[in-house]
Chains A and B, each alone.
Chain A
Amino acid sequence: MADTTGYPELDSLLPRVAALAGLDQASLEREEIALVGRKAGEITAALKTLATRAPEDRRAFGAAVNALKVRAEAAIAARRAELDQARADAERRAIDLTMPPRRRWTGAVHPVSAVIDEISGIFRGLGFAIALGPEVETDWYNFLALNFPADHPAMDLHDTLYLDVPPTVDEQGAGRLLLRTHTSPVQIRVMHASEPPIRVIMPGMVYRSDAFDPSHAPAFEQIEGLAIDEGVSFVDLKATLTHFARRFFSPSTAVRFRPSFFPFTEPSAEMDVECQLCHGSGCGACKGTGWMEILGCGMVHPRVLEQGGIDPERYTGFAFGMGPARITMLRHGVPDIRLLYEGDMRFLSQFTAGNMSRGIAP
């Protein structure tokens, strides 16, 4: 377009339209109103003079004003977009997105609870339900019903925490009260409360007369399992627990069963899994054996079934018990068992989603 509109009164506006491309935001807003504003715009005003023009000139003048208006509006829009872009660029430069995010407090379930939940989940998938029992027990439930001989060393004061209360009388006669030393008494309670088929796991706190030191705690978690039905055999025990170990650790984890001894099972076994640190080659954690002792298990002793009111000739069963606190320590590399029971935020918060985040790379 030539640098004239053909109308001097319009040509005087041309330099202002051309200057739009260099204006800052505020001047642009002002010029927009001054040029094309609906009330006071000069181009708008020029359009309003159309009626005063000679009729033969109207058409050409109208076209010239419109062209100028379109030109001015386009220039304004282009400049505005340019300024917006510049502002956005400046804003982007001003925000450092590698600065730390804003968070809320995040909490976490206790790592041992998480392990118990995971173990429970695997056994739920195998048809086990969860049973609970009291933490204070009589010596009958804790020892005698489980085929411990009456003078077994485990009943000594230096192994078991007894309560300083008179013996209590229940359906099993008078019994000394103690803090259960294992979750196995829940087996008896479950047998009394239901009929085979029985498939339960029994998590809970257990107590021992042990000093609180890096590798011992006087109270810790245990999880017990029990399956009783016709035809339940050592094959089922080994298959179920091998399945569990491979689900809990990894599908390729090596598992072995060694003969062992517990008063309440026979045959009894210890289940070892391949050391999760060295994977069998031997390291400090597994004392060079390549194996880690994970749980004790066995076929429920016929005398225990009898004490539970179940016919040991008709029914057989298997039972197992493990220490989720120890498994937690192995899994997370916890160096001192006391960390699990002292409420140290520096320890517990390591298990929160907030702390587990790896952050965002710059």
Chain B
Amino acid sequence: MNASRRWLERFLRRSLDAQDISARLAAQGAAVDVIEPLNAGLGEIRVALVEEVRQHPNADRLRVCTVNDGGAERRQVVCGAANVTAGRKYPFAPVGATVPVGKGGGPMRIEKAKLRGELSEGMLCSARELGVGVDADGLWELDTDAAPGTLLLEALPLDDDRIIVDVTPNRPDLLGHKGIARELAASLNVPYRLPQLGPTALAPDVPPVQRAASVRETVAGPLRVAIDDPEGCARFHAAVVRGVKVGPSPAWLRQPLEAVGVRSINNIVDATNYVMLELGQPMHAYDLATLKGPALVARRARPGEKLVTLDGVERTLDGETTVIADAARVVGIGGIMGGHDTEVRDGTTDLALEAAWFEPSRIRRARRALGLSTEASYRFERGVDRWNAAEAMRRCLEIILLTAGGTIEASPVDLHPVVANPPRIFLRLARVKQVLGLELGLHEVERCLVAIGATVVAKPDDGRLAVDVPGWRPDLTTEIDLVEEVARMHGYDRVPTELRPFRVGSLPDAPAVSVKGRIRSGMVAEGLSEVVSLPFTAADGEASVALLNPLADTGASLRRRLLPTLARHAERNWNNHVRDVRLFEVGTVFERGAPGKRPVEQLRLGLVVTGSREPGHWTADAVADVDIWDLKGLAEVAGALAHPGATWHVEGDHFMARVKDGRTVGWAGRLTADTPPWGGALFGVEIDVTDGARAAVRVEALPTTPAVERDLSLVVPDGVASAAVVQVIQQAAGDLLEAVRITAEFRGAALREDRRSVTYRLTYRAPDRTLRDADVDASEAKVLSALERELKLSRRGA
């Protein structure tokens, strides 16, 4: 909602500061987005009196004026405007001043100049040049008593601030200046009232409204008014004005509209817009001559019925939409936009005016169905005051009579088929205390309620107040709504901030929380950085979960795996000429569930590494790239962190993690990616995260006896897995064997091509004594014979 400071000042009859307005509205729940000072560029423009006008000696279309700008000396100004007249006052830009809209459209600085031989010291301005209007065909003749030399901004009500208020959807009352003035009045503790219209103190005579309650149709003079769809349109005010003269609006009507960013159209349309912006009630004016009947009937559209709206677009309507029709056809979409054929034009003389109330949910539905959002629909779908249309109609009629003339035919009518009153709500003082934690007396609670315009109708002894809420607050329907109003008007800043004792919650942490924390610190210890990715990808098989309304630039499905996205991250880093990528993610993957069931969400750990194993250092020529052995190590760590029950298995050229029942829960291996020639191999791991509690680490006692190490270099034919060799060693060596470690592998030299030499370092230890060579010899002999027997292996050189 754009508000004008000046408009608000007229409601409150005092000058206001835009920053102060902003602070007060924020404290009451209506944040101000921006304050835009208006006409700030007119500070150097003064009122000047043209004392003499003579023809320019060398140019037919120029005149030479003697100008009184308040100084001791008169100025000579050359002027091209045809309407310059001696004895009149005009805005004057002296030499050195800047006018907002120069010839090029931007600000222009006025210089002393000679025009066709005549000196010109300054410029007499049009409204367009000052950026305050469009009538550029002549100078702006000022209707002011101000003395020559007076600053224009002091002489005329031009300076203003556009205050852009961020109105929450529950506060339709703030979509008009009156509602904002009401909030400010409460904050300032001053009264507010509807300002007088224009320069005249005399409001034109508008006959009282003629009520037509509990009936579905009535007449306003010649106009038949009916409501056939009371669920969609609960109330309809109408009036007929004859003999108007459509024309431009006077400054007092035009300027407030322009101050809030609404373009002036003509005096009739401006009157309806003015009322909407002032009172929050959208209105519509029809050219009476174009209405068949003449009639205005609020009814449901017939499915497929068509209407060309004001914007020239043909709309096809459905049966849920409330329309305004005349005796023959649809003439407007109720509460959204009027029709093109019945709009007020330059030659219009007779008007039918509408101020109606439409059901918010129906407007919202129709607005969505039509894809047509307007200032009117914006207000109706949030809730317009159902009891205030009479004021709006009277205001609109006054403006029209003042600016377009004409006479009101018969009385305005108020058709109200089902009479309803604003709700009465009961508020318990004990509830106020329970929710707010504040001891507010009856007097303070009542003050707060009165400040929002509510009426406390009964104060029984049981501490329960009966409160009638005002019509402009459709959001107030239950007791808790009033509790909020009390808090708001009492002031959030008056609520204390001291912590009070509390009971600790009954729930423990979700199990996944500690698992995630462990994974994060474990992965960071491996030198990997955490990444968070958008979980959208292209469809990835039948089990993918697709989005109904995917975004244009991201994938149309939810990810089933983390690695594809992580690989894209690696590629993006390559594109940035970053070669070393070490990333991990703990995130959710999604898969289609059983029919009728929600999708399955699984927390996963994924990681990718590529590039140097360590950061390069000047002491070494080169650092090796990460390889499959780095990957295998990371896979083991990832498994231990994310899925302690799982075991990794070699499967072809990659690794799979499985749990006891054989289910696969993880994958590790080399990834295919769009690798640049200078990029390293890309490796990845992905594994399910389980949140099962894990067994605590049990510490083994530290050894008190020395160990003995023996190296065993074996010739291992290809096809015999080293893991199998270790297994045989462990089984054969007996209790004294503490550990087996592989220290070297080599091929070539004296070995056959399909054989390798692997060195196993066996560590022996007895827990209670120092081992003798004989003990170890005996074990080693058993190991060698088992290796010979089971795997046909022998020592190298044996």
The residue of chain B having its C-beta at the shortest distance from the C-beta of A138 within the complex is B598
B680 CB to nearest A CB, Å: 13
User: B500, B507, B576: which contacts A235 (Cβ < 8 A)?
Assistant: B500
B547 to A163, Cβ gap below 8 A?
A: yes
* Chain A residues closer than 8 Å to B500, beta-carbon distance: 235-236, 239
A135 to B601, Cβ gap below 8 A?
A: yes
Q: Is B283 located at the chain interface by the 8 A CB criterion?
A: no
Q: Is A227 located at the chain interface by the 8 A CB criterion?
A: yes
Whole-angstrom distance between the alpha carbons of A169 and B487 in the complex? 40
* Chain B residues closer than 8 Å to A299, beta-carbon distance: 435, 480
The residue of chain B having its C-beta at the shortest distance from the C-beta of A190 within the complex is B507
Whole-angstrom distance between the alpha carbons of A80 and B788 in the complex? 58
The residue of chain A having its C-beta at the shortest distance from the C-beta of B438 within the complex is A235
**A residues 156-172 touching B (CB-CB < 8 Å):** 156-158, 161-166, 168-170
Q: Is B546 located at the chain interface by the 8 A CB criterion?
A: yes
* Chain A residues closer than 8 Å to B548, beta-carbon distance: 157, 161-164
* Chain B residues closer than 8 Å to A179, beta-carbon distance: 547, 558
* Binary contact track A142-177/B, C-beta < 8 Å → 1, others 0: 000000010101001110011111101110000001
Q: Is B520 located at the chain interface by the 8 A CB criterion?
A: yes
Binds B, one of A12-20, A44-52, A261-269, A273-281: A261-269
Whole-angstrom distance between the alpha carbons of A117 and B524 in the complex? 15
User: B437, B508, B592: which contacts A236 (Cβ < 8 A)?
Assistant: B437
Whole-angstrom distance between the alpha carbons of A199 and B521 in the complex? 26
A129 to B551, Cβ gap below 8 A?
A: no
Whole-angstrom distance between the alpha carbons of A234 and B500 in the complex? 12
**A residues 57-102 touching B (CB-CB < 8 Å):** 99-100, 102
Whole-angstrom distance between the alpha carbons of A69 and B245 in the complex? 135
A180 CB to nearest B CB, Å: 11
A113 to B520, Cβ gap below 8 A?
A: yes
Binds B, one of A21-29, A30-38, A251-259: A251-259
User: A110, A128, A346: which contacts B578 (Cβ < 8 A)?
Assistant: A346
Q: Is A215 located at the chain interface by the 8 A CB criterion?
A: no
* Chain B residues closer than 8 Å to A221, beta-carbon distance: 532
Whole-angstrom distance between the alpha carbons of A219 and B436 in the complex? 35
A134 to B531, Cβ gap below 8 A?
A: no
**Given A233-B434, A238-B497, A243-B499, A301-B573 contact (CB < 8 Å):** no
A108 to B614, Cβ gap below 8 A?
A: no
Whole-angstrom distance between the alpha carbons of A257 and B487 in the complex? 11
Q: Is B749 located at the chain interface by the 8 A CB criterion?
A: no
* Binary contact track A196-222/B, C-beta < 8 Å → 1, others 0: 111110000100011110000111010
User: B29, B525, B546: which contacts A260 (Cβ < 8 A)?
Assistant: B29
User: B29, B508, B550: which contacts A129 (Cβ < 8 A)?
Assistant: B508
Q: Is B506 located at the chain interface by the 8 A CB criterion?
A: yes
Q: Is B60 located at the chain interface by the 8 A CB criterion?
A: no
Q: Is A7 located at the chain interface by the 8 A CB criterion?
A: no
User: A135, A235, A261: which contacts B169 (Cβ < 8 A)?
Assistant: A261
Q: Is A295 located at the chain interface by the 8 A CB criterion?
A: no
B532 to A352, Cβ gap below 8 A?
A: no
B504 CB to nearest A CB, Å: 4
**B residues 531-566 touching A (CB-CB < 8 Å):** 531-536, 545-554, 558, 566
Q: Is B670 located at the chain interface by the 8 A CB criterion?
A: no
* Chain B residues closer than 8 Å to A108, beta-carbon distance: 524, 529-530
Q: Is A340 located at the chain interface by the 8 A CB criterion?
A: yes
The residue of chain B having its C-beta at the shortest distance from the C-beta of A258 within the complex is B26
B546 to A164, Cβ gap below 8 A?
A: yes
User: B506, B570, B614: which contacts A195 (Cβ < 8 A)?
Assistant: B506
B547 to A345, Cβ gap below 8 A?
A: no
A236 to B529, Cβ gap below 8 A?
A: no
A211 to B553, Cβ gap below 8 A?
A: yes
**Given A211-B553, A238-B496, A344-B573, A219-B534 contact (CB < 8 Å):** yes
Whole-angstrom distance between the alpha carbons of A212 and B550 in the complex? 12
Q: Is B51 located at the chain interface by the 8 A CB criterion?
A: no
Main secondary structure of the interface of A (DSSP, over half): mixed
* Chain A residues closer than 8 Å to B361, beta-carbon distance: 149, 151
A104 to B527, Cβ gap below 8 A?
A: yes
Whole-angstrom distance between the alpha carbons of A109 and B481 in the complex? 43
* Binary contact track B509-530/A, C-beta < 8 Å → 1, others 0: 1101100010011011111111
Q: Is A294 located at the chain interface by the 8 A CB criterion?
A: no
A219 to B535, Cβ gap below 8 A?
A: yes
B549 to A165, Cβ gap below 8 A?
A: no
Q: Is A56 located at the chain interface by the 8 A CB criterion?
A: no
User: B435, B512, B615: which contacts A132 (Cβ < 8 A)?
Assistant: B512
* Chain A residues closer than 8 Å to B770, beta-carbon distance: none
Q: Is B403 located at the chain interface by the 8 A CB criterion?
A: no
User: B28, B517, B521, B578: which contacts A345 (Cβ < 8 A)?
Assistant: B578
Q: Is A330 located at the chain interface by the 8 A CB criterion?
A: no
* Chain A residues closer than 8 Å to B532, beta-carbon distance: 110, 112-113, 205, 221, 340-341
Q: Is B503 located at the chain interface by the 8 A CB criterion?
A: yes
Q: Is B242 located at the chain interface by the 8 A CB criterion?
A: no
A165 to B480, Cβ gap below 8 A?
A: no
Q: Is A356 located at the chain interface by the 8 A CB criterion?
A: no
Whole-angstrom distance between the alpha carbons of A217 and B532 in the complex? 12
Q: Is B483 located at the chain interface by the 8 A CB criterion?
A: yes
Whole-angstrom distance between the alpha carbons of A48 and B360 in the complex? 124
* Chain A residues closer than 8 Å to B484, beta-carbon distance: 259, 266-268
**Given A259-B488, A302-B480, A103-B615 contact (CB < 8 Å):** yes
Whole-angstrom distance between the alpha carbons of A227 and B513 in the complex? 19
Q: Is B597 located at the chain interface by the 8 A CB criterion?
A: yes
A110 to B531, Cβ gap below 8 A?
A: yes
Binds A, one of B188-196, B580-588, B657-665, B715-723: B580-588
The residue of chain B having its C-beta at the shortest distance from the C-beta of A110 within the complex is B530
A342 to B569, Cβ gap below 8 A?
A: yes
Whole-angstrom distance between the alpha carbons of A301 and B173 in the complex? 22
User: A100, A135, A234, A287: which contacts B495 (Cβ < 8 A)?
Assistant: A234
**Given A165-B592, A219-B535, A130-B566 contact (CB < 8 Å):** no
A258 to B492, Cβ gap below 8 A?
A: yes
* Chain A residues closer than 8 Å to B558, beta-carbon distance: 163, 179
Whole-angstrom distance between the alpha carbons of A168 and B596 in the complex? 5
Q: Is A362 located at the chain interface by the 8 A CB criterion?
A: no
Whole-angstrom distance between the alpha carbons of A346 and B33 in the complex? 35
**B residues 590-621 touching A (CB-CB < 8 Å):** 590, 592-593, 595-599, 601, 614-615, 617-619
Whole-angstrom distance between the alpha carbons of A234 and B490 in the complex? 13
Whole-angstrom distance between the alpha carbons of A190 and B601 in the complex? 18
B505 to A128, Cβ gap below 8 A?
A: yes
Q: Is B753 located at the chain interface by the 8 A CB criterion?
A: no
* Chain A residues closer than 8 Å to B509, beta-carbon distance: 129-131
Q: Is B653 located at the chain interface by the 8 A CB criterion?
A: no
B503 to A197, Cβ gap below 8 A?
A: yes
**Given A209-B549, A269-B492, A316-B435 contact (CB < 8 Å):** yes
Q: Is B177 located at the chain interface by the 8 A CB criterion?
A: no
* Chain B residues closer than 8 Å to A205, beta-carbon distance: 532, 535, 587-588
B459 CB to nearest A CB, Å: 22
Whole-angstrom distance between the alpha carbons of A301 and B536 in the complex? 34
Q: Is B340 located at the chain interface by the 8 A CB criterion?
A: no
A348 to B531, Cβ gap below 8 A?
A: yes
User: A102, A130, A212, A269: which contacts B551 (Cβ < 8 A)?
Assistant: A212
A194 to B437, Cβ gap below 8 A?
A: no
B573 to A166, Cβ gap below 8 A?
A: no
Q: Is A127 located at the chain interface by the 8 A CB criterion?
A: yes
A132 to B582, Cβ gap below 8 A?
A: no
* Chain B residues closer than 8 Å to A200, beta-carbon distance: 505, 507
Inter-chain pairs besides A212-B534, A345-B529, A352-B529, 7 sampled, C-beta below 8 Å = A109-B530, A196-B506, A221-B532, A257-B493, A258-B29, A259-B487, A348-B530
What are 27 A-B contacts defined by CB distance under 8 Å? A102-B619, A103-B617, A105-B580, A107-B524, A117-B517, A127-B503, A130-B509, A131-B510, A153-B364, A156-B368, A161-B549, A163-B547, A168-B596, A194-B505, A205-B587, A233-B438, A239-B497, A257-B495, A258-B26, A259-B28, A259-B29, A260-B168, A267-B484, A299-B435, A302-B478, A341-B534, A342-B569
Ranked nearest first, the 3 interchain pairs of A and B with the lowest CB-CB distance are A233-B437, A259-B29, A105-B527
